[in-house]
Amino acid sequence: MNTPSGKPRKVIPIAPADSQGDIVSLYEAQKKVYPRSITGLFSRWRWAMVFLTQLVFYGLPWLQWGERQMVLFDLGARRFYIFGLVLYPQDFIYLTALLIISALALFLFTAVAGRLWCGFACPQTVYTEIFMWIEHKVEGDRSARLRLDGSPWTVEKIGKKSLKQFLWIAVSLWTGFTFVGFFVPIRQLGGELLALQGSWQIFWVLFYGFATYGNAGFLREQVCKYMCPYARFQSAMFDRDTLIVTYDAGRGEPRGPRTKAVDYKAKGLGDCIDCTLCVQVCPVGIDIRNGLQYECIGCGLCVDACDTVMDKMHYPRGLIRFSTQNGVQHGWSKLQMLKRVLRPRVLIYTGVLVALSVGMLASLMVRTPFKVDVVRDRAALSRIVAGGKLENIYRLQIMNATEAPQHYRIAARGLDGLELVSEPEFQIEAAQSRWVVVQLHIPYGSATEGSHPVQFDVLAVETGKQVSEKSVFLVPRQ
């Protein structure tokens, strides 16, 4: 293409060119990972964590606490039920504290034990494990899956792929349904979905189902490698005494194949027989022998794989093992590494975590089991009523955060001759809130014009606890 002046237009490539002049993509093409299944200590721990976390996740919304769901974040009614606790939006501080405590716990855990959370308890890892188990059961282990993907489409291949997709979709939808069941009573949600009612509920079940399917079925290790921010900032929490999965290069190198009968040490070889089993089992498709990599989720499957090989070769276990950088470098024992756990950064994280947790628990224990909000009635700011009195009207919202009906008594103070003329006592049902209209009177002319501070005292009759809220009484110009 030419410019208006007739000269050839310069073409700017959108990606750098290699030495031959071809366009090179800035992005690495995704290589599908076909992890091989392995059994061993860490594999069993991973499955134990899958069962434990999923028992809690799928089971919790079905448990009842009296007449209601045991754990329910009822956004519509603006109430959170957590076992015996009823929290209102005013209790948001507890949620904030809980998030800070969780973040600190993750920092502490990462400083001590590296990425064990990623490898054993992160939902991304857990659901990927479940999806891979289904894939393994339907399509076979690594070599069978590689063969199947490389073969032409036959009835058998279509059948296997369809069955896998069907099972993945079923697990995804059940996961989406369970997740929404933490926000909408799950028994009611089940009935609504069966009757095809509740378009928002249907949308969110499909949305979370789709997210599970996409993340665990297709993206898998890509989420850990490219999307998860935790993988990026974890290095800030690591030091040379953090537990990581390490390959003992001093013992393993130079690597190379050999038979059991050969004296490999005489041939100058290390303990690694270069079987690549540790690479084949890795769910993120890396070679731990290249050193610590940010992609490593610390799942320990390469440890299981290498220990199996070491057993077969009659070499000592632990060529790949959980250790620390200092531990590997200085050849420390487990006890020596344990002694380094209580280092300054760990003590600081622990101190802050304990202080925050104790503070939050103490605050929850002494928390008043009801809330009061006072709103002035803006329709009638101040008026003269029968008997020569000046009236101000307020609306009090009282929230009963207990599991039993409660009686409340309102009193007001702050001005000479102040009288509360509305019904002072009433009942609010368990975990309910109620708006109460309150009229305050003072003798006309007993206070100067302007706004005067007053205070409402609300007493919970059964528990004897009291909450006081401030407001103002307006006296108009005469």
What are residue 373's DSSP bridge partners? 397
**Which of 237, 305, 410, 458 lies at the binding interface for ligand SF4 (CB under 6 A)?**
305
Q: Any contact of residue 126 with ligand SF4 (CB under 6 A)? A: no
Closest contact distance (angstroms) between CB of 280 and ligand SF4 is 9
Q: Any contact of residue 272 with ligand SF4 (CB under 6 A)? A: yes
Q: Any contact of residue 217 with ligand SF4 (CB under 6 A)? A: no
Residue 219 φ then ψ, to 5°: -70, -45
With contacts defined by CB under 6 A, name the span among 105-113, 235-243, 283-291, 350-358 that binds ligand SF4.
Answer: 283-291
With contacts defined by CB under 6 A, name the span among 69-77, 295-303, 431-439, 453-461 that binds ligand SF4.
Answer: 295-303
Are 101 and 357 in contact by the 8 Å Cβ rule? The answer is yes
State which residue, 85 or 279, has the beta carbon closest to ligand SF4.
279
Q: For 473, which DSSP code?
A: E
Q: Any contact of residue 273 with ligand SF4 (CB under 6 A)? A: yes
> What is the phi-psi region of residue 291: left when phi exceeds 0, alpha when psi lies from -120 to 50, beta otherwise?
left
Are 219 and 210 in contact by the 8 Å Cβ rule? The answer is no
Q: Per-residue contact track with ligand SF4, 377 to 416, x per CB under 6 A?
A: ----------------------------------------
State which residue, 50 or 282, has the beta carbon closest to ligand SF4.
282
Q: How many CB atoms lie within 10 A of CB 375?
A: 11
State which residue, 189 or 245, has the beta carbon closest to ligand SF4.
245
State which residue, 282 or 418, has the beta carbon closest to ligand SF4.
282
Residue in 453, 436, 448, 458 with CA at minimum distance from that of residue 478: 448
Closest contact distance (angstroms) between CB of 313 and ligand SF4 is 8
Q: What token pair was written down for 257?
A: 């194949």
Q: Where are the alpha helices (DSSP H) in 181-287?
A: 186-194, 199-212, 221-222, 229-233, 249-252, 277-280
Distance CA 276, CA 286 (A): 11
Q: Per-residue contact track with ligand SF4, 50 to 69, x per CB under 6 A?
A: --------------------
**Which of 289, 321, 371, 452 lies at the binding interface for ligand SF4 (CB under 6 A)?**
289
Q: Any contact of residue 288 with ligand SF4 (CB under 6 A)? A: yes
* For residue 254, cis peptide bond before it (omega within 30 degrees of 0): yes
Q: Per-residue contact track with ligand SF4, 237 to 256, x per CB under 6 A?
A: --------x-x----x--x-
Closest contact distance (angstroms) between CB of 291 and ligand SF4 is 10
Distance CA 33, CA 63 (A): 39
Q: How many CB atoms lie within 10 A of CB 62?
A: 13
Q: What token pair was written down for 166?
A: 């069907």
**Which of 320, 337, 346, 418 lies at the binding interface for ligand SF4 (CB under 6 A)?**
320
Q: Could you tell me how many residues of this chain bind ligand SF4 (CB under 6 A)?
A: 30
